[in-house]
Amino acid sequence: MAKNMKLTDEDDALLAELGIEIEAKTSVRYTAREERIIAGFEEIQKFVEEQGRLPEHGEDKDIFERLYAVRLDQIRKQNDCINLLKDMDHQSILDPNYKPEADILDDIDDDELLAQLGVDENEENSITKLKHVIPRAEKKAAEEIANRTLCEDFEQFKPLFDAVKKDIETGFRNTVRFRKDAGFTKTTLKKEQFIIIGGQMAYIAEIGETLKAPNGEDDARLRVIYANGTESNILLRSIIRAMYKDETSRFITDPNSGPLFSGENSEDDQESGTIYILRSLSNHPTVKENRDIVLKIGVTGGEVKKRLSNAKNDPTFLMADVEIIATYKLANINRTKLENIIHKFLSSAKLEIEIKDRFGKLVKAREWFLVPVFIIDEMVEKIKDDTIGDYYYDTASANIKKY
């Protein structure tokens, strides 16, 4: 007669390897409201993953970042939302010790906020169809556009704007807030400089002959091209005065200005960081056929294992567990900038895979690469000795080559 035996953790693991389920797993079913709250929280998580920070309030912020900040404030105030999301909060986004920098925006009404949180069952209230929110910076930009004319030869400038936007996204250029404490008369602009004014990127295409302003200061007539295909023939002192009054105005730095690793900490620097290399255990056909070289490369300031705790429920990780192949510890890094440089370096080997999320929706997982581990080792060494900008990855030969 068989005896009743208590299974140990080792027995459970062995049975799992053999494909034998010990007990039926309970399927979690969410209401439509809960699904929308989860989906909205995942958008905040994606923002934090890409930007390396929580979404913030402010007129100079992207409209969706402002909505994410409002949504996060509301989620933190509702216990049912916290209980629903806490198990998937691997980034500690719901940590009550973090204090938002500003109050909820006054220019979003209650109905709109509830719609963003999934409380309103009306599907027409989508965050992609905002009716009530018009940032003040956009209003200022619209007023300024009225004084501009169509740029007839914009096609020759468009590639410049596209390149600068890409450089900002990858961290090769930064935007620097206009410094009022430097003094109005001490500020200057130069030919071929990029700036942001009135919410628009602008390019100083030409600087005319020096003129004398009524106050005796040097002045000049500029040809300024804007990213929306317009231009203006404005005085140097006038555009500087406009930047001085515009709280959102910024300078755009030259490419590669400032080191990736520096002796001084900046606002975005961390005391330490980790580059992690992951291999997916997914049964996706592309992954199974190329498992040794389908790798995810990322950077985190926290514990790698904590970052991966919810991998099998996260489309970013192909809805499957992952294996840590290698980690590289680095000190005093700008995490977001480093991750952008790595992804740009390996862009030719980028692999986009579509995977179904927990709601059956197809999602593209974008941060996976077809690359051998030894290439990553070599790449990290070149990051450490600050020579990565001199090299590129050649996918045809699977080698790192010098420009």
Same-domain pairing of 103 and 222? no
* The predicted structure's pLDDT at residue 202: 93
The domain boundary residue, chosen from 133, 150, 184: 133
Whether 246 is in a domain gets the answer yes
Same-domain pairing of 146 and 244? yes
Distance (Å, rounded) from C-alpha 250 to C-alpha 49? 25
Q: Which residue has the tokens 């909505």?
A: 67
* The predicted structure's pLDDT at residue 155: 92
Percent pLDDT > 70 in the chain is 71
For every residue of 230-291, DSSP letters joined together read: EEEEEEHHHHHHHHHH-TT-EEEPPTT-S-SB-SS--TTEEEEEEEEEEEE----HHHHHTT
| Phi, psi (rounded to 5 degrees) for 331 | -105, 145
Q: What is the DSSP letter of 86?
A: G
Same-domain pairing of 57 and 103? yes
Same-domain pairing of 321 and 236? no
The per-residue pLDDT for range 202-239, each reduced to its tens digit, is: 999 999 988 877 767 788 899 999 998 899 988 888 88
Same-domain pairing of 277 and 397? yes
Same-domain pairing of 185 and 119? no
Structure tokens at 5: 């035996």
* The predicted structure's pLDDT at residue 204: 94
Same-domain pairing of 248 and 152? yes
Same-domain pairing of 274 and 394? yes
pTM score: 0.38
Whether 259 is in a domain gets the answer no
* The predicted structure's pLDDT at residue 153: 92
Strand partners, 285: none
The domain boundary residue, chosen from 252, 286, 304: 252
Exposed / middle / buried, residue 158 (Cβ in 10 Å: 0-12, 13-18, 19+): middle
* The predicted structure's pLDDT at residue 28: 65
Same-domain pairing of 107 and 169? no
The per-residue pLDDT for range 338-387, each reduced to its tens digit, is: 888 888 899 889 888 888 887 888 888 878 899 998 898 888 888 877 78
* The predicted structure's pLDDT at residue 270: 44
Whether 8 is in a domain gets the answer no
Question: Residue by residue, what is the 3-state secondary structure of 160-199?
Answer: HHHHHHHHHHHCCCCEEECCHHHCHHHCCCCCCCEEEECC
Same-domain pairing of 182 and 293? no
Measured at the CA of 170, the angle between CA 164 and CA 176, to 5 degrees, comes to 60
Whether 26 is in a domain gets the answer no
Whether 327 is in a domain gets the answer yes
End-to-end Cα separation, the chain, in angstroms: 76
The domain boundary residue, chosen from 116, 133, 150: 133
Whether 162 is in a domain gets the answer yes
The per-residue pLDDT for range 15-55, each reduced to its tens digit, is: 565 555 555 445 567 888 888 888 888 888 888 887 888 88
How many domains does the chain fold into?
A: 3
* The predicted structure's pLDDT at residue 224: 93
| Phi, psi (rounded to 5 degrees) for 216 | 95, -10
Same-domain pairing of 242 and 229? yes
Q: Domain range spanning residue 305?
A: 269-402
- pLDDT exceeds cutoff 80 at 9: no
Same-domain pairing of 308 and 370? yes
Whether 27 is in a domain gets the answer no
Arithmetic mean of pLDDT, 269-278: 71
Whether 81 is in a domain gets the answer yes
Closest CA to 236 of 255, 256, 212: 212
